[in-house]
Amino acid sequence: MSPVLVISRNPQVVGLVQQAWGPDGYAIAPEQFPGTVQVLLNHLQGAPLPAVAVLDPGGQLPAALALAVELDQNFSITSVLVTDRAAEVSLDAMRAGVRDIVAPDCPVEEMKRALERAASHSGPRVQQQAPGVPAAATQRGKVVTVASPKGGVGKTTVSTNLAVGLAQRLPQSTVLVDLDVHFGDVASALNVTPEFTLPDMAHGPASHDPLALKSYLHLHQTGLYVVPGSESPAAADAVTSKEISALLDTLAQQFKYVVVDTAPGLGEHTLAALDQTDILVLVTSLDVPGVRGLRKELDTLRDIGLMLESRSVVLNFMHPSRGISVADVEASIGRKVDFQVPQSNSVPITVNQGIPLLQNGSRDPVAKQLKALVDSVDSTEKTSPKGLRFLDFAHKKEVQPQ
């Protein structure tokens, strides 16, 4: 388990965390709640920083929120706030990077779930700064929209693998947005059960507030953040194109890459995404309806002024038995095909398992083309993220409250 630090003068809270998390942690009980990491380090007396911090400030809430901001932005340490004023402070807490708010007398299982969620969000973060260095203003990330003229062409498979491939290069640098608001399959393709979905993030202050929004995102095991599609068509209908634009703009302020999996065609949500897009990936299949649809979509984008210079065409389900050549496709659409993805029996298996090809390290020819697509979006060499390394606390003597 990830090590947990409890900052509290309440033995009940310390005991609650111990019951929920076990021996992997330690506690301090300062008279004045530390409002900065430097003050916290003085209290720790040489012990390393944790992966998760449980903040129980009593009446010193401003100091706790200030500490949470610094832990989150500069050290990638996630905080859980202990207070009985959740309704009053929830928005300020989200802005400070707090992952969860629990009451001092909450059940053990509730504390355990909060700590598990916090631990899953700790680690290397997007555009992480070196320890002790304040976060600086960063360049807006790139919005990469994956679109197709019709369904059934493997668009979501391309989107999820592209997003996973980008996230593998720098964990937590990429977010995948399921913009097929009625029938999106991103959650299924990644085998995730989200707590929040697109409508939760598109409505209210979170859509304009990067720190608040981050607490709604689902973190996949590959280091990819996910905005899952709506589970209710009625809720999806309430999401406007203006809200989509605001959401994508907010995400682009926080992430290096925002990959958008759109619905087939050019509906209002897709057009809103295209208006924010930096890189366009068009996917179609090797059949006459797919190629004709792609040609019409290219013509339409050109007519409405949304044809981007940075764009790629992915031709999916390549196989000689289809009776259409790549040259036929290129002649029809009036431009070259950038990526030729072969038909493969392994793809349906990975889709049914919810494990993208690029996640499991497959050497399938399909994976080779998908990796090439990732390379076209990000030419950065894959490197291991550098962050804080935490010691094993299993045998460390616990620091008891005074």
Q: Tens digits of per-residue pLDDT, 34-67?
A: 998 888 888 887 677 788 999 999 989 999 999 9
Q: Report which of 316, 367, 312, 318 is spatially closest to residue 336, judged by C-alpha positions.
A: 312
Name the pTM for this structure.
0.65
Number of other residues whose CB lies within 10 A of the CB of residue 352: 11
- With vertex at residue 199, the alpha carbon angle to CA 55 and CA 293, rounded to the nearest 5 degrees, is 135
Using one digit for the tens of pLDDT, what is the confidence trace for 9-33? 999 999 999 999 987 778 999 989 9
On average, the pLDDT of the chain sits at 84
Of 250, 283, 52, nearest to 161 by C-alpha is 283
Share of the chain above pLDDT 90, in %: 49
Cα distance between residue 282 and residue 299, in whole Å: 13
The pLDDT of residue 300: 93
Please give the share of the chain, as a percent, with pLDDT higher than 70.
88
Sign of CA dihedral 19, 22, 23, 25: negative
Which one-letter amino acid corresponds to residue 395?
A: H
Greater confidence, 77 or 121? 77
Q: How many CB atoms lie within 10 A of CB 323?
A: 10
Gap between the Cα atoms of 163 and 324, Å rounded: 30
Do the Cβ atoms of 234 and 228 come closer than 8 Å? no
State pLDDT tens for residues 325-337.
Answer: 899 999 999 999 9
The yes-or-no verdict on residue 384 having pLDDT over 90 is: no
Q: What is the pLDDT of residue 278?
A: 93
Q: Right CATH number for 142-377 from 3.20.20.60, 3.40.50.1820, 3.40.30.10, 3.40.50.300?
A: 3.40.50.300
The Cα-based distances of 352 to 163, 187, 190, 227 in angstroms read 18, 12, 10, 20
**Is residue 249 within 8 Å of residue 281, measured between CB atoms?**
no
pLDDT tens, position by position, 343-381 = 888 888 989 999 998 998 878 899 999 999 999 998 754
Whether 207 has a pLDDT exceeding 90, the answer reads: no
Residue-wise pLDDT for 226-251, tens only, equals 999 988 777 778 889 999 999 999 99
pLDDT at 396 over 70: no
Sign of the Cα torsion 76, 77, 80, 82 reads: negative
pLDDT at position 226, please?
A: 94
Give me the pLDDT at residue 402, please: 38
Q: pLDDT tens digit string along 262-305?
A: 999 999 999 999 999 999 999 999 899 999 999 999 999 989 88
Q: What string of DSSP letters covers 40-79? A: HHHHHTTPPP-SEEEE--TT-HHHHHHHHHHHHHHH--EE
CA distance 87 to 297: 47
CB 315, CB 329: distance < 8 Å = yes
Name which of 43, 53, 47 is nearest 100 in CA terms. 53
Distance in angstroms (rounded) separating the CA atoms of residues 103 and 21: 16
Considering 116-130, 299-313, 374-388, the range whose residues carry the highest mean pLDDT is 299-313
Tell me which residue has tokens 């907010």: 250
In whole angstroms, give the CA distance from residue 282 to residue 208: 28
How far is 256 from 242, CA to CA, in rounded Å?
22
pLDDT at 3: 81
Per-residue pLDDT, 87: 85
pLDDT at res. 123: 54
Three-state DSSP class for 296? helix
**All structural domains of the chain with their residue ranges:** 4-121, 142-377
Predicted pLDDT at 95: 86
pLDDT the model gives residue 128: 40
Instruction: Check: CB of residue 1 under 8 Å from CB of residue 368.
Output: no
At 223, is the secondary structure helix, strand, or coil?
A: coil
Residue 399 has pLDDT above 60, yes or no: no
Mean pLDDT value across residues 374-399: 47
Hunting for tokens 């402070």 — which residue is that? 89
User: What's domain 4-121's architecture?
Assistant: 3-Layer(aba) Sandwich (3.40)
* pLDDT the model gives residue 389: 29
What DSSP character marks residue 107?
A: -
Q: Do domains 4-121 and 142-377 have the same CATH topology?
A: yes
175: pLDDT strictly greater than 50: yes
What pLDDT digit, counting tens, does each position of 182-199 carry?
888 999 999 998 888 899
Secondary structure percentages of the chain, helix, strand, coil, to 5 = 40, 15, 45
Residue 140: pLDDT over 50:
yes
Instruction: Name the residue with higher pLDDT: 253 or 386.
Output: 253
